[in-house]
Amino acid sequence: MKKTVLIVEDHPDSRNFMKELVESYGCEVIEAIDGEEAVQLAHYGKPNLILMDISMPEMDGLTATKIIRETSDKNKMPIIAVTAHGKALNKLLMEAGCNGIVNKPVDFDALRPVIKHYLVH
C-alpha cells in the first residue's frame, strides 16, 4: 500500500519541489495551500506524514498543527514543520506538536532523511 504525504505550502514552486521528492519514493501526494485546507485534508485524506509550511495566509501552520493534534486519532501522525524562521520558532513548533523541523529553503539533502525516516521501511 502506498504511503500518503500531505504537503502544505502556499508557494507553488516549493510545493512542486517537495512533491517531486516525495513521489520519487513511490508515495502518493495530496496538497494544501493553507492551514484551513490542511486541517480538512489531514482528517479526510488520512496522510501518513504532513510537511507543514508555517507562514501561510488564512491559517498558519502552527495553528493548523495545534488543531490537527487536538483531534485524537491524529495525535500520532508525524508533522514536520517546514519554515524559513530558522531556530526562532523551534520551541513553539515542538510545543504545538511538530515531530521535526526542516528549514527553508528546502533542499533534497535536508528532506530526504525525513522522508526515509517516516515513510520508507
> Could you say which architecture CATH assigns to the domain 4-119?
3-Layer(aba) Sandwich (3.40)
To the question of pTM greater than 0.85 for the whole model, the response is yes
pLDDT number for residue 72:
56
* CA proximity to 111, closest of 78, 82, 90: 82
pLDDT number for residue 74:
56
What digits encode the pLDDT tens for the residues 53-64?
Answer: 999 988 999 999
- Rounded to an integer, the average pLDDT of 22-46 is 93
CB under 8 Å to 40, separation ≥6 — which residues?
A: 32
How many distinct helices (H) and strands (E) make up the chain? 5, 5
